[in-house]
Amino acid sequence: MFQPTLDSVKTHQIPEWYHDAKLGIFVHWGLYSVPGWAPLTGELGQVVTEGGWINWFSNNPYAEWYQNSLNIGQGATFEHHRKTYGQAFRYEDFAPMFQTAAETFDPGALADAIKRAGAQYAVLTTKHHDGFLLWPSALPNPHQRAWQLRRDVVGELTDAVRARGMRMGLYYSGGLDWTFNPHVIKDIQDLFLGAPQSTDYEAYATGHLRELIARYKPSVLWNDIGYPRVADLGRLFADYYNAVPEGVINDRFIQASAIDPQELRQKLAQGELGLPTAAHYDFKTPEYVKVADITPHKWESCRGLGFSFGYNQNDTDANMLSVEELVHSFVDIVSKNGNLLLNVGPLASGAINALQLKRLEGLGDWVAVSGEAIYGTRPWVRAEGKAASGGHTIPVRFTHKGRALYATLLGMPKSGEVLLDSVVATPSAAVTLLGHPVPLVWQQRGEHLMVTLPENRPASVAPVIKISEV
């Protein structure tokens, strides 16, 4: 049993299931799914690097930020809203439309799609920054009437996900709630200025989290942006771990001290200050980010299939990850001690559109054949390598499990032979290609391993060579 202190909860060890799982599906679904619109500005890191945070928020490609983009009063989302719905139509007017659409929600179909992708867990947005709740809470919003679904979609999806052998996690926006603090986010320092810090909001948010823990026992407690400074997180986290012994907590329970906006802007411009660090967490959550090498701490990369987390009707094949890009990114993340929390943004009805389903199914097809190189593995002595085939160089990512080393090729071999750079096998090793049952012919060439592939090998966007030491 954990004691209600940060010192106590910091002794928590990440459970093996989370290390083993590798793939989760993030589900961003809410009022913003009704308009389902954002400009196709680009990926977070690229846009901020090239144009800065003001440019990012003014042209925000995150459709789930629709309300904030609208309240900025200019830009593509503002113009789209005025043209489509009229100047008098408020964001709050989407609520009855969402209530109606959610009545047709099929939790089994969504859980099936998550399972089909090969995911081991799911994380649902129970409340995003607009404050709207996806479950009928006993703690209704004091500032916005009927600001929650009548239907308990949190509970229904939780049951459906668990019935299919997966774990369920819950997202909650503790750091922003525009019904308590309507401060418009126009620049990075506004994330701090827009965070509600009142004791009333802390009681409201903590009450919600305790309600979610008691009702649904989430395996992942996934907070966003930050959390009120007055909250006793040591007590909350201890109570969570004691209620869900194999639960995990992300790194976004940030209790930032008051920061002068001008000072923050100057430090950010000089590269001296990123977001503050949470006092306790089990894993880090970089967003739309690649890492260069194996990290000693556990991390989880979260990203959308396109530029947005919430459903965006503007998405096309051109701005979304291809199945090949998705598989290669997933393999790279796992080789460096990460999990992938891949997002889907359902329509207002809760259904996933064809563009997203195509990618989930493509990923699922690959892991059905090659998942042995992913699930339950750990990083090897190095993550990256290279292979030569037919005069071409192919990037390689390594994982291992027990006495087996997996070399995943991020590309198709150009000939029937592959030379794995700096891989040495013992004379008794067995070498196979996942998805093909026949042992392969191989020979050691100094520090490199030459593998002859079968002529009738199955097509794959990322073939996996398994080297088993026997």
CATH of the domain at 461: 2.60.40.1180
CA 64 to chain CA centroid, Å, is 14
Judge if 107 and 81 occupy the same domain.
Answer: yes
Interaxial angle between packed helices 107-116 and 153-163, expressed in degrees from 0 to 180 and rounded to the nearest 10: 40
Judge if 146 and 242 occupy the same domain.
Answer: yes
Q: For residue 70, give the CATH number of its domain.
A: 3.20.20.80
Domain interval for residue 28: 6-373
Judge if 189 and 264 occupy the same domain.
Answer: yes
Quick: pLDDT tens for 394-429.
999 999 999 999 999 999 999 999 999 999 999 999
Query: How many domains is the chain partitioned into structurally?
Result: 2
Say what the pLDDT of residue 270 is. 53
Say what the pLDDT of residue 191 is. 84
Judge if 283 and 417 occupy the same domain.
Answer: no
Say what the pLDDT of residue 273 is. 44
In a domain, 363, yes or no: yes
Judge if 340 and 396 occupy the same domain.
Answer: no
In a domain, 31, yes or no: yes
Judge if 79 and 190 occupy the same domain.
Answer: yes
- Number of CB atoms found within 10 A of residue 283's CB: 21
Say what the pLDDT of residue 45 is. 86
CA angle (373, 375, 376) in 5-degree steps: 105
How far apart are alpha carbons 405 and 432 in whole angstroms? 11
In a domain, 49, yes or no: yes
Residue type, 17: W
Tokens standing for residue 350: 């809760």
User: Phi/psi at 392 (nearest 5 deg)?
Assistant: -115, 155
The CA-based diameter of the chain, rounded to the nearest angstrom, is: 76
Among 326, 355, 373, the domain boundary falls at 373
Quick: pLDDT tens for 440-455.
999 999 999 999 999 8
> Is the dihedral angle over the CA atoms 81, 86, 90, 96 positive or is it negative?
negative
Ranges in the chain, pLDDT < 50: 271-273
Q: What is the 3-state secondary structure (H, E, C) of the chain?
A: CCCCCHHHHCCCCCCHHHHHHCEEEEECCCHHHCCCCCCCCCCHHHHHHHHHHHHHHHCCCCHHHHHHHHHCCCCHHHHHHHHHHCCCCCHHHHHHHHHHHHCCCCHHHHHHHHHHCCCCEEEEEEECCCCCECCCCCCCCCCCCCCECCCCHHHHHHHHHHHCCCEEEEEECCCCCCCCCCCCCCCCCHHHHCCCCCHHHHHHHHHHHHHHHHHHCCCEEEECCCCCCCCCHHHHHHHHHHHCCCCEEECCCCCCCCCCHHHHHHHHHCCCCCCCCCCCCCEECCECCCCCCCCCCCEEEEEECCCCCCCCCCCCHHHCCCHHHHHHHHHHHHHCCEEEEEEECCCCCCCCCHHHHHHHHHHHHHHHHHHHHCCCCEEEEEEEEEEEECCEEEEEEEEEECCEEEEEECCCCCCCEEEECCCCCCCCCEEEECCECCCCEEEEECCEEEEECCCCCCCCCCCEEEEECC
Judge if 126 and 33 occupy the same domain.
Answer: yes
List Cβ neighbours of 55 (8 Å cut-off, separation of 6 or more).
Answer: 47, 48
Residue type, 8: S
Gyration radius from the chain CA atoms: 23
Judge if 129 and 169 occupy the same domain.
Answer: yes
CA 257 to chain CA centroid, Å, is 27
How far apart are alpha carbons 2 and 377 in whole angstroms? 29
pTM: 0.96
Asked whether 308 and 36 are in contact (CB, 8 A), the reply is no
In 3D, which of 173, 139, 140 has the Cα closest to residue 30? Answer: 173
Among 373, 393, 425, the domain boundary falls at 373
Judge if 462 and 425 occupy the same domain.
Answer: yes
Interaxial angle between packed helices 199-216 and 233-243, expressed in degrees from 0 to 180 and rounded to the nearest 10: 10
Quick: pLDDT tens for 384-397.
999 999 999 999 99
Judge if 328 and 439 occupy the same domain.
Answer: no
Give the C-alpha distances (Å, rounded to integers) separating 255 from 45, 251, 252, 258.
Answer: 24, 11, 9, 10
In a domain, 352, yes or no: yes
In a domain, 75, yes or no: yes
Judge if 189 and 216 occupy the same domain.
Answer: yes
In a domain, 1, yes or no: no
Among 373, 391, 415, the domain boundary falls at 373
How far apart are alpha carbons 408 and 442 in whole angstroms? 17
In a domain, 346, yes or no: yes
Judge if 167 and 316 occupy the same domain.
Answer: yes
Query: 432-470 burial string, b = 16+ CB within 10 Å, else e?
Result: bbbbbeeebebeeeeeebebebeeebeebbbbbbbbbee
Which residues are bridge partners to 167 per DSSP?
121
